Chains A and B, each alone.
Chain A
Amino acid sequence: MLLYSKLRRFALIDGKGRRAKLIDFIVELLPEGYPRVTHILFRDSRRKQEVLSWDAVVSIDHVGRNIKVKDVETGELAPEEWLRKRVLLSDVHDSMILDLEHLRAARANGLLLKEEDGDLLLCGIDTSLSATLRWITGGRFGYVPKATTHDWAAIEFLRGDPQTVKKCMVDGEGIAKLPAGEVARLANQLPYMHAAELIMLLPDALAINTLEAMTARRRLQVFEELTEQRGLRMLELMAPDVAADLMGTLQTETMQDFLDRLPEVQSKRIIDLLCYPEHTVGGIMTNDIVFAPMRMTIAEAREKLRERLKEPDFVYLIFIVDDEIAKRQQGIVPIRYLLTADDNQTLQEIMDKKVLTLDALESADKASFKVIESQLAALPVVAPNGQLLGAVTVDAAVLQAAPEAWGSQAPRIFS
C-alpha cells in the first residue's frame, strides 16, 4: 500500500539523471474497479507544467523517494482538458465522501494507492485525523488506522457541484443499493450542494424518496441546485402535497415555469393544493387519492383500481363517492375489505359510512388532532357541498401536530 501523502513528495528522475518536480497524478475514474493513474503532472526545468504518460514510468524507488521514468524530456505541455481530468490533489483528496460501510459522511483526509501489473491504482481512502498528520509531514508521521480506511468500492465521493455531476461521479451503483431510509439519512448529513449532487446521481425512485424525507427548508435548498431537467422530473414524480409545499416556496416565476411544463395531471393537482393557505387543512392534504363510485361491484372495483393503486403513495383507503362527476363523499373502504369481500357485493355494502370529514379551510392544527384521534390512516377532506377534495393522512397530521424541531431531533447546533 502506498500513501499519497508520501508519494506526492517524490521526485521524477530519468535514465540520464535529469530530475523534475512532481506536482500530481491524473487518474481515470472508471465505472468499475479502482481508478488508474494515467499521467503524471510535473514541472519541467523551464518551470512549465507538463504531463507524462504513466507508461513512461520504469519503477518507484521508495528508498530514494523518486519515480524513475524513461525520459523527462518526452513530457508534453499539459493541455487544459487534461488538467480538467481528475487530479488527485485538487479533486479527490479533501473531497467529501460517503462511507457506505458505516453510513456516514466524511472527508478524504488521505489517499491509499497500490501498484498492480505496472499500474498505479487508487484503492482506498483514509478518513482519520492521523491522515492529516501524515499529510503535513510528507508521510513521515502518522499511522494508518484500519478502522478509518475504506476501500474505494465502499465509498462515493462528492464534489459539491450538482451541475457537473455527470463528469464527477464514479457511478451510482454503490449508494443506489442502500435502502431509501438510509440514503435519506446520509443525505441529511451532507451540505446541501453535496446532497443535490447525490440527488442528481440517484435513480428516480430513490431520489424522490430521499427528497421527500428532507425537511421543507432543506428540500428547497437542494431542489434549487438541481438542473432544470432533473428538477422537473422530480416534481413530476413527487407526491402532489410535497410538490405543492415545495412549489409554494419557490420564486413566483420559477413556480409558474415549472407548473407550465409539468404534465397536466400533476400540474393541476399541485395548483389545486396551492390554492389553500398553508395553515389550513387544504394546505396539508393530498389530492392524489384513490376513489370509486359506491355502486361499483367489488369485482369491478378490483379490476378498475388495480392500475390506479400502483400510482399514488397513499393506498390504504379507498374513498367512496356517489358518482365520479359529482364526487360527493359517501364513505371509506380499507384495502383489506376490498380484498376479502365477495365479488358481487357493491362498495356501498361494505363501506364505513360514519367517517368524520374535514373542511378544507379549517385549521390544520385542529384537524391534525382529529386525524390522530380517529385511529384511521386518513380522513377525507370535503367541500361544503360534500364533494371529495382530498385526504389528510396520519403522516401529515403527525408532522403538523409535532413540534417543529421534532423532525431533526438530533442536536445539530452547528453544522
Chain B
Amino acid sequence: MNKEVDPKELEELETGEQLTLPIRPRDLRRSIRVTIRGRSVRLAGIRHIPPGLLGWLLVLGPGLIATSAGNDAGGIATYSSAGAKYGYDLIWVMVIITVSLAVVQEMCARLGAATGRGLLDLIRERFGAGWAIFAVGVILIANGGVTISEFVGIGAAMELIGVSKNLAIPLTAGFLWYLVVYGNYPSVEKIFLAMTVVFFAYPIAAFMGHPDWVQVAHGAFIPKIRWESDYIFIVVGLMGTTITPYMQLFQQSSLVEKGVARRHYGPERADAYFGSVFSNMMSIFMIIATAATLFVVGQHEIETAADAARALEPVVGSAAKTLFGIGLLGASLLAGAVLPLATAYAICEAFGLPKGVNLDFRRARVFFNLFTGLIVIGAVVALIPNIPLIKMLVWIQVLNGVLLPIILVFILLLINDSRLVGHLKNTRFYNFLGWGTFAMITFAVVIMIAGQVLEPFGIHLFGGG
C-alpha cells in the first residue's frame, strides 16, 4: 500500500537551480545522494532491489517453484522407496545432491538472465540444428516419461480417494487439456498448488515418527555405499528425480520470463540456492518419515500409493490415505498440465515455430500437437492394466538420471561460452562443482548400466540386491 506523505513534512528547497522542483519530503526513504554536473542532488526514484532480508524475499520465486516441482508423483515414490528400503542410509546422497542441484539450477538461472533465451533455443543457436534435434529427443523422452508418471500419480491418487483410475485418468487428461487450451489455467493452478500443501505434513511426520536422530545424522554425513544393484538403481533414481531435466528448462524459462537483466542478476542467485535447499529438505523429510514408519517395522517394499501414504499416519492417523491422495493429486495435476506445456514451448522455441496457447491450432500446429500428444501418451500409458505403479514411477526417475548428464554437458558448455553469457561465465570453482556433478551422475549411471548389461554374461558387478 502506498502511504501519502503529510504536506507538513515538506520543505522548500532554497536553491534557485531547482526551480521546477521546489519541494521534497524531509525524510525520503531509500533515497540516494549523488553528484551530477558538480551539483549534489538527492534522488528518491531509484528502483534498486533493497539490501537485506526484504530484498532477498523479493527475488524468491522461480527457483523455489522449479525445485519444488521435483517433489511430484515420481519424487514422492522414489523418496518413499529409498526411505522404506534403506532407512536413513541414503540421506547422504541427498545432501550431496542438494549442492549439485543448487549449482545446476543457479547455472540455468544465470543462462536465462544472461541470454534471455530458453535452454533448447540456446543449444540450437550455439551447436546447430543437429545437436538441437538430439537435445529435443532427450527432453522429449525425459519429459514424456515424467508426464506419464504424473498421470500414474493421478490414477493412484484417485484410487486412494475411491475413484477408479480407468475413469479418472481419461477425464483428468481431457480436463487438463481443456483447461490449458481454453480455460483459465492460472486461476486453477493456484488450487492445484494449494492441494500440495498436504506434503508439508512430511516434516511433521518425520518428527512425530520419533526417528533415531543419531542414525539420521549418521546417514546424512557418513556415506554408506552398498555394492548392490538395487542400491545403485535407487541412487540414480534419487539423482534423476532431484535434478530433473525439466526443472532446468523451467528454471531458465522462468528467469527469461521474469525479465532479469544480466547486470542485475546477482541477487537472483539466492532464489536458486534457497529453492534447492528448501525442496531437498522436504525430500529428506520424506525419506526420514518413511524410514521412521515403514523401514523400522520391516516394510521395505512400497508397492502402492497406499503404502507410501502410511508415512503420514503419525500425523493424521487414519486420514493419511485421503490426505496423501489429495496432495498427490494436486502435485500430479500441477505438473501434468505444466510439463507438456513447457516441453512444447521449449521445442517450438528451438525451431522458431509459432507457440503459445493464445494462438489458434492452424497457426501453431506443432505446438498444439506436441502438447496434446504428450498428454495423450501420458494418459494412455498410465491406463495400462496391472502395471506396478511405484516401480514404474521409480524407473522413470532412473531414466531421468540416465539422461541428465547429456543435458548437464550442454548447460556446462553454454555457461562457459563468454560470447554468449559475457561476465556471467562460470568461475573455476563453479566449473569444478558443475563438472563434478556431471562426473558423479555419469559414474553412477555407467555403473548401473554396466551391472545390468554384464549380468546376462555371468559377470556380476554387484554383490546382491
Contacts and interface: CB of A to CB of B under 8 A. Distances in A.
B216 interface: no
B425 interface: no
B259 A221 contact: yes
A136 B261 contact: no
A412 B351 contact: no
B45 A361 contact: no
9 contacts: A105-B352, A107-B124, A191-B121, A192-B259, A193-B116, A256-B36, A274-B45, A414-B345, A415-B349
Contact of B342 (A274, A282, A414): A414
Nearest to B24: A275
Contacts of B353: 106-107, 127, 129
B129 A136 contact: yes
Interface string A54-72: 0000000000000000000
B118 interface: yes
A104 B349 CA distance: 13
Interface residues of B, number: 71
A95 B352 CA distance: 9
A414 B115 contact: no
A159 to B, nearest CB: 9
Nearest to A258: B36
Interface in B30-67: 30-32, 34-37, 41-48
Contact of A264 (B4, B37, B249): B37
Interface in B3-36: 3-5, 7, 10, 12, 18-25, 28-32, 34-36
A282 B21 CA distance: 10
A18 interface: no
Contact of B257 (A93, A129, A273, A413): A413
Given A271-B41, A277-B44, A361-B5, A96 B341 contact: no
B356 A276 contact: no
Interface residues on A, range: 35 or more
A109 to B, nearest CB: 6
A278 B116 contact: no
B262 interface: yes
A106 B366 CA distance: 14
A255 B341 CA distance: 40
Interface string A247-277: 0110110011001100010011001111111
A412 B257 CA distance: 8
A135 B263 contact: no
Contact of B23 (A361, A410, A412): A361
Nearest to B254: A414
B133 A132 contact: yes
Nearest to A128: B353
Contact of A384 (B23, B129, B351, B357): B23
A283 interface: yes
Interface stretch (A38-46, A333-341, A362-370): A362-370
A192 B257 contact: no
Contacts of B351: 107, 109, 129, 132
A256 B356 CA distance: 41
B129 A267 contact: no
B391 interface: no
A113 interface: no
A415 B36 contact: no
Interface string A102-125: 001111110000000000000000
Nearest to B136: A132
B36 A267 contact: yes
Contacts of B419: 161
Interface in A195-218: 215, 217-218
Shortest 9 CB-CB distances between A and B: which pairs?
A: A107-B352, A217-B259, A414-B345, A192-B116, A191-B116, A106-B352, A415-B256, A414-B253, A274-B45
